[in-house]
Amino acid sequence: MKTIISSIAIYFMMFHFCFAQKQTLKLSSEFINNQLEASAAQYKYLIAEIPEGKFPKTFEKGEQKFSNSSWWCSGFYPGTLLYLFEATQNAEFEKKALSKLKDLEKEQYNKGTHDLGFMLFCSFGNALRLTGDSASYEPILKTGAESLISRFNPTTKTIRSWDHNTWKFPVIIDNMMNLEFLMQLAKTTGNSKYADIAITHANSTMKNHFRKDYSSFHVIDYDPETGAVLAKQTAQGAADGSAWARGQAWGLYGYTMMYRETKDKAYLKQAKNIANYILNSPNLPDDLIPYWDFDKDKIPADSKMYSRKDLRDASAAAVMASALLELSQYTKGKESAKYLHAGETMLKNLSSESYFAKGGENGGYLLKHSVGALPLNSEVDVPLTYADYYYVEALVRYKRMLSGEPVIKI
């Protein structure tokens, strides 16, 4: 009987594998490998620029901008180095990444931020995956996960995002990106509480963050005592009612990941609806690199943002491309082809001279033309460390697809 069951299981695995292989991949191995090699060459320049104990943020007005480990982006640089090591097998990148992790270790105790998924999972999570050194990295990840769930409120059924401003209990759509950390820790430790909190947060976000057209608000403020929604606002988008581009990307990526981890079809449906909002938007440019906000045309002419309303956001495109490549694996037929083609188009155009920097330029960063927070006049039309991370991640995912491997390796 076991033999029969095993044979059936193998059959369905092979069927799924063969289905995945039927996808027509339009980008060549040569193209992907060339971009990975060019990225590796560029990052050798960036490596030389970074002081001890510091992490790259951006390159602005001809000057390098660095952060301490407590900045929410600190995990992206070592994470990118680890992806480059995975793709090129150049041991220099692994060595530099693992060395930089020593400066990041203390953030496992940081209970003042929700961004520990970005900070720890993109860095130590990739290190564990590639080295298998569970003794070194699992304790750090476990402590970091405990720090993250200390921000969970069972009344609001969400993980608190920020501790600043006048909000009572703000939750931002970005927080969906930290749930992968918890889902993986549930598997690593065998403790389901991490997954339970991630699922609860994802469900609350799905209920409260999205409009009828499946665009997302940026910030939802909750009453921590009752769980009631107090306000639906933005901090980095054009207006409270607008669709900030990177926010849509975070949602797409987050629900695609949650479907992978749970196989809950509600998450797949949500991911597809977000993808369709993005790809069907009349405000999405032909090259599929979005403007920083999908509602940028609603900005009043007397607004300080008006003159720069047409800026693109390469960081949003990089996140979208990586997510769409994965989403194409969980869908079929024309739907799968649509998501795959969109991801390929974004990846190809991000790799063009319009967005991919020439060697030795752009401060050593890969992508030009990202927007951090235009309303705050912060990191506007500059390279950003997380844009590079998700761009390289998308390249690595596509390289796996070309090799017939699973698009995700955990």
Give the catalytic positions in this structure: 115, 174
229-233/219-222 β-pairing: antiparallel
With beta carbons less than 8 A apart as the criterion, state whether 221 and 231 touch. yes
Q: Give the CA dihedral 14, 329, 37, 51, nearest 10 degrees.
A: -120
How many other CB atoms sit within 10 Å of the CB of residue 107? 24
DSSP 5-36: HHHHHHHHHHHHHHHHHTS---S-HHHHHHHH
Q: How far is CA 213 from CA 147, 245, 276, 281, 389, in A?
A: 35, 14, 9, 10, 29
AA identity, residue 187? K
Instruction: Give the Å distances, CA to CA, from 30 to 40, 129, 276, 323, 409.
Output: 15, 26, 30, 22, 22
The rounded distance, in Å, linking the Cα atoms of 383 and 365 is 6
How do strand 55-60 and strand 63-67 relate by DSSP bridges? antiparallel
- Token duo for residue 104: 């990041």
Burial of 311 (0-12, 13-18, 19+ CB in 10 A): middle
Please say whether the beta carbons of 185 and 261 come within 8 A.
no
Judge whether 69 and 43 are in contact, CB under 8 Å. Answer: no
Q: Let me know: does 130 contact 85? Beta carbons within 8 Å.
A: yes
Distance from chain centroid for Cα 309: 24
- 133-255-330 Cα angle (round to 5): 85
